[in-house]
């Protein structure tokens, strides 16, 4: 399982060189080319130098670096509690630099040129956060497969038998070709077009999967579980069946094998993000015992779904389907009154009796603590509340405003259901324009979360296709809540 690398450093000049060296080597290990790793290291060097020299004045302080890897990009997060600072007020002006010798803002401008995305978040009492994002590059599978290969008319394949086996790193190119020949350029997880990225994810244990083959050995299906970074659950997040071999039960057989493999790896549960462009994935999940627990509105940008539908006219919403592998018979949770009946039934569908814990005395700290995760490509953000505080509303407003300027259009907030602070926080966030999204079982550190959502994209509920009665109930509930403002 991929874990973030976390460094805590003092603001001494002597740490700069060591951090730069570490960043370069970490970047290479994360799959960056030599030039990409060097550019990331130079960007971190520039930023850490600014923090060491200017963030704390003459005082001694500490700051944090978090290194985060995914198959598609790497991210370095710098957090510090130094003096207030707004990079928008320190922009670089080349004319001023030539005229006056004033190079204010040049360091930040250099960082922007060295990385693909540079984001600044002012988190109030929680300090400041700088995020440097560098996308990884690798050979695209299109260089090995001509585009014409995906445009042939689809005829059902002759009847044959199929075997399901675990994938290995040697299957990376086979998987990429299968995705490309089936979906062209339309599959929403771009890293699957790069064999090297697939190979690296398998090597790191980031995912495990199965391959479906015909009796002649032709690969015609692939399904994988992605390990989450902060909990013992996995996402059934990558799936493809070659069009001539569809409607033969391959998806169900592959998923059944993945469930067995997940149990062997001692995972506590599996979840799927089933698109609502069609109900194929939702039907498969339901047949294997998954239960719908949430509906994420406008979770991904629109795309074409080759062989299924033409271009979808709005951003894609997804149903969260969850399968507990070790269900808890009963739990005590702090359930917000507005959502208590629905959450109680969602727990019951997972085989768990939930007891609503009463809130007697609630003490809130001054400062909230959140883990803000965002995806600029998908245009959504997830704010995970780690500690409730009196400034939570202000913090959320500021984060939403900042990330909207970066193109984020949909926001999700995860509130821990084993914390009494979730009840007042839910009412506060509803007043801020957030609505019900659903139950996210075991999603962070093996804890259950209530997810709320707010989207700034237009959409129509009648274009969202859901299959199970439970998913339809969640959809109706959200639609009614949004139409009324609150329920």
Exposure letters 330-356 (e unless 16+ CB within 10 A, then b) = eeebbbbebbeebbbebbebbebebee
CA distance 225 to 216: 26
CB 437 within 8 A of CB 294: yes
CA distance 110 to 101: 17
The angle formed by the CA atoms of residues 37, 43 and 48, to the nearest 5 degrees, is 120
pLDDT in tens, the chain (487 residues): 456 899 999 999 999 999 999 999 999 888 888 889 999 999 999 999 989 998 898 889 999 999 998 777 899 999 999 887 766 665 655 655 455 554 455 678 888 889 999 988 888 778 889 999 998 876 554 444 444 444 556 789 999 999 999 999 999 999 999 998 888 777 767 788 888 889 989 998 999 999 999 999 999 999 999 998 789 999 998 999 999 999 899 999 999 999 999 999 999 999 999 989 889 889 988 988 999 999 999 998 875 444 444 567 889 999 999 999 999 999 999 999 999 999 999 999 999 999 999 887 777 788 899 999 988 888 999 999 999 999 999 999 989 998 998 899 999 999 999 999 999 999 999 999 999 999 999 999 999 999 999 999 999 999 999 999 999 999 999 999 999 875 4
Strand 233-241 with 269-275, pairing: parallel
Strand 219-227 with 207-214, pairing: antiparallel
Strand 291-300 with 316-324, pairing: antiparallel
Q: Measured between alpha carbons, how far apart are the two ends of the chain, in Å?
A: 40
CB 52 within 8 A of CB 16: yes
What pTM does this model have?
Answer: 0.79
CA distance 164 to 183: 21
3-state helix, strand, coil in the chain (%, to 5): 35, 30, 35
Domain architecture of the chain: domains with CATH: 5-135 (3.30.565.10), 157-324 (3.40.630.30), 330-484 (3.40.630)
CA distance 193 to 478: 35
């Amino acid at each position: 399982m991929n874990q973030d690398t976390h460094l805590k450093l003092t603001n001494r000049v002597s740490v700069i060189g060591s951090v730069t060296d570490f960043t370069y080597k970490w970047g290479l290990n994360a799959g960056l080319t030599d030039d990409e790793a060097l550019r990331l290291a130079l960007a971190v060097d520039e930023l850490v130098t600014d923090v060491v020299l200017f963030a704390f004045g003459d005082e001694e302080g500490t700051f944090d670096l978090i290194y985060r890897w995914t198959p598609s990009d790497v991210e370095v997060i710098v957090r510090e509690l130094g003096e207030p600072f707004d990079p928008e007020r320190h922009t670089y002006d080349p004319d001023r630099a030539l005229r006056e010798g004033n190079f204010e803002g040049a360091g930040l401008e250099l960082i922007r040129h060295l990385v693909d995305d540079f984001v600044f978040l002012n988190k109030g009492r929680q300090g400041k956060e700088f995020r440097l994002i560098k996308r990884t590059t690798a050979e695209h599978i299109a260089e090995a497969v001509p585009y014409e290969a995906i445009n042939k008319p689809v005829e059902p394949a002759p009847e044959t038998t199929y075997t399901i086996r675990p994938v290995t790193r040697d299957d990376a190119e086979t998987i990429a070709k299968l995705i490309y020949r089936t979906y062209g350029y339309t599959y929403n997880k771009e890293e699957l077009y790069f064999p090297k990225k697939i190979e690296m994810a398998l090597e790191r244990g980031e995912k495990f999967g199965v391959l479906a083959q015909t009796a002649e050995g032709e690969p015609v299906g692939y399904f994988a579980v992605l390990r989450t970074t902060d909990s013992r659950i996995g996402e059934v997040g990558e799936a493809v069946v070659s069009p001539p071999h569809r409607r033969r039960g391959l998806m169900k057989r592959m998923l059944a094998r993945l469930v067995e493999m997940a149990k062997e790896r001692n995972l506590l549960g599996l979840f799927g993000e089933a698109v609502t462009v069609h109900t194929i994935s939702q039907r498969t999940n339901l047949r294997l015992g998954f239960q719908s627990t949430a509906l994420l509105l406008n979770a991904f940008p629109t795309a074409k779904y080759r062989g299924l539908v033409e271009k979808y006219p709005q951003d894609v919403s997804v149903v969260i389907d969850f399968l507990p592998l070790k269900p808890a018979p009963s739990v005590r949770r702090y359930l917000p009154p507005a959502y208590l009946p629905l959450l109680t039934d969602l727990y019951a569908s997972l085989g768990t009796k939930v007891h609503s814990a009463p809130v007697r005395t609630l003490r809130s700290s001054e400062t909230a603590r959140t883990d803000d995760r965002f995806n600029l490509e998908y245009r959504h953000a997830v704010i995970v509340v780690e500690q409730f505080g009196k400034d939570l509303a202000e913090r959320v407003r500021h984060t939403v405003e900042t990330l909207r300027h970066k193109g984020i259009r949909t926001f999700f907030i995860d509130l821990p259901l084993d914390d009494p602070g979730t009840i007042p926080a839910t009412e506060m966030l509803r007043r801020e324009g957030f609505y019900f999204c659903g139950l996210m079982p075991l999603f962070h550190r093996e804890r259950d979360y209530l997810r709320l959502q707010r989207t700034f994209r237009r959409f129509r509920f009648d274009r969202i296709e859901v299959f199970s009665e439970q998913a339809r109930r969640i959809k109706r509930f959200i639609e009614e809540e949004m139409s009324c403002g609150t329920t």
